[in-house]
C-alpha cells in the first residue's frame, strides 16, 4: 500500500494519495494502540462511572441518573464514542459491561447512604452483550451478589439490539422478569425506531438529541417531537428528551409532562460531585418514593 502510494504520488506529482495512506496508517495505529490499552484497562482500574441526572420537566425534580462510562487511559481521557466501538468489535465490551453494572450497583448503595436514592438508575448495554445467551443470568447474579434490587434499575438499549429480534426479545423478557426496566436509547436517530417499539414492551423512550437540537429554529421539529411523545404515551412508556442545553428548550417541552436530560440541568458527574449537586441544586426535590429510602 505504501509503495502504491509512493508510486501514485510520483505519477501525479502530488502528495494527496501519500497523505491519505499516512493518515489512514496513523488512524489504524491509534486504534490498535487503543485496543492494546483497552485490554489492560479493567485490571488497571482505569474505568469509572459518571452520572447524569434525569429531571421531571414539569416540576424540575431529579428522578434518576444515567451511568456513563469514563476511561482514563494512558493517552488521557478517551470519550466513549471512540472506545465503545473498539470494545464492541473486540468483545471486550462483555467484561467491561459486567464491571459497569456491578459498579453502578455499588454506587447506587452509596447514593442511598447519602440520602439520594433515585427512583431509577440507568445503565447502557451494547447489542454485543445481548449476543451472549447467558446475559440475563449474569445480570441476575450481579444484582444478587451486590444485594441490590433490580427494580431500581433501567437498561438502555439502542435499536441495533433488534437486529437479532428473537434472541433480543427473549433476553428482554428475562430482564423484565428480574424486575429491570427497559429503555430505548437514541430513539428517532435511526431508521427502524418504530419497528423496535412495535415488537417489545418498553418502559422508557429516550428521544435522541438530534430531534431537540433544532426545535427552536424549525417548528416542524416540534410537530415531529410531539407526535413521537404521543406514540410513547400511547405505549405507556415514559419519555426522556436527551441533550437539553437551553432554558428555552426546557420551557417549550414543559407542558408535555415528560423527563429531560442535558447540560442545562447537569453534565455527567463523578459520584462525589453528584452528591454535591444533589445537595445544592435547585433541580432536586422530594421525588424519591419513601419505600426506596428504607
Contact positions with ligand C2E (CB under 6 A) in 121-180: 124-126, 156
Q: Which of 134, 228, 216, 221 is nearest to 186 (CA)?
A: 228
Closest approach, Cβ 30 to ligand C2E, in A, equals 18
List binders of Mg ion among 123-162 (CB under 5 A): 124, 156
In this complex, which beta carbon is closest to Mg ion, that of residue 25 or of residue 214?
214
Q: CA gyration radius for the chain?
A: 21
Task: Find the binder of ligand C2E among 18, 61, 185, 196 (CB under 6 A).
Answer: 185
* In the complex, minimum distance from the CB of residue 183 to Mg ion, in angstroms, rounded to a whole number: 7
| Residue 268 within binding range of ligand C2E, rule CB under 6 A | yes
Cβ atoms of residues 69 and 42 within 8 Å: no
Least distance between ligand C2E and beta carbon 41 (Å)? 13
Q: Among residues 64, 232, 243, 260, which is the contact residue for ligand C2E, using CB under 6 A? A: 243
**With respect to ligand C2E, which residue has the nearer C-beta, 5 or 57?**
57
> How far apart are CB 267 and ligand C2E at their closest, in Å?
7
Q: Least distance (Å) from Mg ion to the CB of residue 123? A: 9
Query: How many other C-beta atoms can be found within 10 angstroms of the C-beta atom of residue 37?
Result: 18
Tell me: does residue 88 bind Mg ion (CB under 5 A).
no
How many amino acids of this chain bind Mg ion (CB under 5 A)?
A: 5
Interface with ligand C2E (CB under 6 A), residue from 7, 25, 44, 80: 80
| Binding to Mg ion in span 41-70, by CB under 5 A | none
81 or 234: CB nearest ligand C2E: 81
Binder among 92, 139, 186, 288 for Mg ion (CB under 5 A) = 186
The window from 15-23, 132-140, 143-151, 260-268 that contacts ligand C2E (CB under 6 A) reads 260-268
**Closer CB to ligand C2E, residue 18 or residue 124?**
124
Out of 233, 245, 275, 283, the residue judged to bind ligand C2E by CB under 6 A: 245
End-to-end CA distance of the chain: 65
Q: Can you give the three-state secondary structure of the chain, one letter per residue? A: CHHHHHHHHHHHCCCHHHHHHHHHHHHHHHHHHHHHHHHHHCCCCCEEEEEEEEEECCCCEEEEEEEEEEEEECCEEECHHHHHHHHHHHCCHHHHHHHHHHHHHHHHHHHHHCCCCCCEEEEECCHHHHCCCCHHHHHHHHHHHHCCCHHHEEEEECHHHHHHHHHHHHHHHHHHHCCCEEEEEEECCCCCHHHHHHHCCCCEEEECHHHHHCCCCCCHHHHHHHHHHHHHHHCCCEEEEECCCCHHHHHHHHHHCCEEECCCCCCCECHHHHHHHHHHCCCCCCCCCHHHHC
Q: Does 103 bind ligand C2E (CB under 6 A)?
A: no
CB 65 within 8 A of CB 52: yes
* Site of interaction with Mg ion (CB under 5 A): 124, 156, 185-186, 242
* Site of interaction with ligand C2E (CB under 6 A): 52, 68-69, 79-81, 84, 100, 124-126, 156, 185-186, 242-245, 261-263, 268
Amino acid at each position: 500500500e505504501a509503495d502504491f502510494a509512493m508510486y501514485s504520488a510520483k505519477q501525479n506529482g502530488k502528495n494527496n494519495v501519500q497523505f491519505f495512506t499516512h493518515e489512514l496508517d496513523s488512524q489504524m495505529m491509534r486504534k490498535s494502540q487503543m485496543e492494546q490499552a483497552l485490554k489492560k484497562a479493567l485490571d488497571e482500574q482505569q474505568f469509572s462511572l459518571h452520572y447524569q441526572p434525569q429531571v421531571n420537566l414539569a416540576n424540575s425534580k431529579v428522578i434518576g441518573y444515567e451511568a456513563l462510562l469514563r476511561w482514563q487511559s494512558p493517552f488521557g481521557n478517551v470519550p466513549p464514542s471512540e472506545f465503545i466501538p473498539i470494545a464492541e468489535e473486540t468483545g471486550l465490551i462483555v467484561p467491561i459491561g459486567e464491571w459497569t453494572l456491578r459498579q453502578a450497583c455499588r454506587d447506587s448503595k452509596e447514593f442511598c447512604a447519602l440520602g439520594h436514592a433515585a427512583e431509577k438508575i440507568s445503565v447502557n448495554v451494547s447489542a454485543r452483550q445481548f449476543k451472549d445467551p447467558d446475559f440475563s443470568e449474569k445480570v441476575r447474579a450481579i444484582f444478587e451478589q451486590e444485594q441490590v434490587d433490580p427494580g431500581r434499575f433501567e437498561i438502555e438499549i439502542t435499536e441495533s439490539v433488534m437486529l437479532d429480534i428473537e434472541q433480543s426479545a427473549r433476553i428482554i423478557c428475562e430482564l423484565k422478569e428480574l424486575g429491570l426496566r427497559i429503555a430505548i436509547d437514541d430513539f428517532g436517530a435511526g431508521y427502524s425506531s418504530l419497528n423496535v417499539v412495535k415488537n417489545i414492551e418498553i418502559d422508557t423512550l429516550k428521544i435522541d438529541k438530534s430531534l431537540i437540537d433544532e426545535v427552536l429554529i424549525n417548528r416542524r421539529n416540534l410537530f415531529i417531537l410531539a407526535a413521537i411523545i404521543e406514540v410513547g404515551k400511547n405505549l405507556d412508556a415514559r419519555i426522556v428528551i436527551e441533550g437539553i442545553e437551553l432554558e428555552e428548550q426546557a420551557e417549550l417541552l414543559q407542558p408535555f409532562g415528560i423527563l429531560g436530560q442535558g447540560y442545562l440541568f447537569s453534565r455527567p458527574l463523578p459520584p462525589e460531585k453528584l452528591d454535591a449537586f444533589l445537595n445544592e441544586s435547585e433541580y432536586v426535590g422530594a421525588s424519591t418514593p419513601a419505600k426506596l429510602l428504607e
